[in-house]
Chain A
């Protein structure tokens, strides 16, 4: 008989144990990404956001918190609108392209 005695997984992020290799690699090549202040302008203006959940802000945060962001990246249409609105002047289009290259394995060399 099932009494429901299971161990639910925890949603807590143990920050010290998050693998940030991808983010670190990205930050080395595009140091400006570190200046993101999570204002959300990029996501607000994103052509793909409202149909696909794409968000540059969430990509950057996710990379630092161990969330899988690869699916989100594939939704970017590379229109460059996010680059225009970023108040910190982060080249978000270049950020996405770099990240895609890192994802494709190029960055591991």
Chain B
């Protein structure tokens, strides 16, 4: 691997991101999958970085899943998007920061389509007015939430209490970065680092002390797709795609995986269990899986937030081996205690994959 070669490509795919004043578009599924990620994005952005971010309870799904599953036409998806833009305009913001990768792709696709076909934008404006009497301005800037964390990664590193370094050996942790497909495969110039060698997550990993792994199936989709997972008959190849990635990364012995998409961490995490049940194989050390974290969870860990507040107990793969390597202090007894200290009960244990 020639690192300078990657740096050259990264320099070709940079974007200027406004410093402050963002309207936050949440994901429809992340709050169920990884419940604390969005909360800690806001916490870090506001409290640690001191940014002004508007979180609006009126916004809905962007329609991306339905659009990509072919259950709604693009025109409907665009009208939903137009409503989000209208909410943002009403709140007085111009910069949109998006939690979900598919929403990010969806917003960009909508804006680019309107740029090519202004008559379509006019039609959607009419649709929106007819549907809910709202009007909108197209955002001046659309960023993914991971773009913001990438932009301020060094500030986060400076305020961190933990590093992506093995406490025992002093060696950097080996981290697989997995980028959601809709981050830059649709519009390579809208993603930090482009589509082939994105640097949005690898930049965080390096800045926080870890070592990035570039394995042969790095660019491969996590397998979620929408028509794959959501249709039972297709689910087998959803799992098979994930399996292909794990087989490819296995020789590199990753300590963890970092992701920036709603679906990827879910499937990379849950399918390790499914694969272990079917094949008996696990990919982490000592019979464990490889912990899969969202970038907000990882940023939270670096900054010293409690892992159970970050929601790491909702992961299928046990995160304790990673916490031990980094040296994060945690209370094992508190893992399954809710916010009100009420016992949440323990999940059933897998047959083959070791969990705490």
Contacts and interface: CB of A to CB of B under 8 A. Distances in A.
A5 B235 contact: yes
A8 B241 CA distance: 9
B275 A6 contact: no
Nearest to B275: A7
A10 B240 contact: yes
Contacts of A6: 235-236, 239, 278
Contacts of B45: none
Interface residues of B, number: 15
B244 A5 contact: no
Nearest to A5: B274
Contacts of A7: 236, 239-240, 243, 275, 278-279
Given A5-B274, A5-B278, A10 B239 contact: no
A4 B240 contact: no
Contacts of A4: 232-236
Contacts of A5: 235-236, 239, 274, 277-278
Interface string B267-278: 000000011011
A8 B240 CA distance: 6
Classify the interface of chain A: helix, strand, loop or mixed: loop
Contacts of A3: 232, 235
B237 interface: yes
A107 B5 CA distance: 51
A61 B278 CA distance: 34
Interface string B224-238: 000000001111110
A8 B236 CA distance: 5
A6 B233 CA distance: 10
Contacts of B237: 8
Interface string A13-54: 000000000000000000000000000000000000000000
A108 to B, nearest CB: 34
B236 to A, nearest CB: 4
Contacts of B278: 5-7
B223 to A, nearest CB: 10
A5 B243 CA distance: 12
B274 to A, nearest CB: 5
A8 B239 CA distance: 8
B281 to A, nearest CB: 11
Interface string B308-322: 000000000000000
A3 B239 CA distance: 12
Contacts of A10: 240, 244
Nearest to B279: A7
Interface in B230-272: 232-237, 239-240, 243-244
A28 to B, nearest CB: 34
A3 B232 CA distance: 7
A8 B223 CA distance: 12
A10 B279 CA distance: 15
Nearest to B229: A4
Interface string B144-177: 0000000000000000000000000000000000
A24 B243 CA distance: 33
Nearest to B240: A8
Nearest to B233: A4
25 contacts: A3-B232, A3-B235, A4-B232, A4-B233, A4-B234, A4-B235, A5-B235, A5-B236, A5-B239, A5-B274, A5-B277, A5-B278, A6-B236, A6-B239, A6-B278, A7-B239, A7-B240, A7-B243, A7-B275, A8-B237, A8-B239, A8-B240, A9-B240, A10-B240, A10-B244
Given A6-B278, A8-B236, 14 more contacts: A4-B234, A5-B235, A5-B236, A5-B274, A5-B277, A6-B235, A7-B236, A7-B239, A7-B240, A7-B243, A7-B275, A7-B278, A8-B237, A10-B244
Q: Which 3 A-B pairs have the closest CB atoms?
A: A4-B235, A8-B236, A4-B232
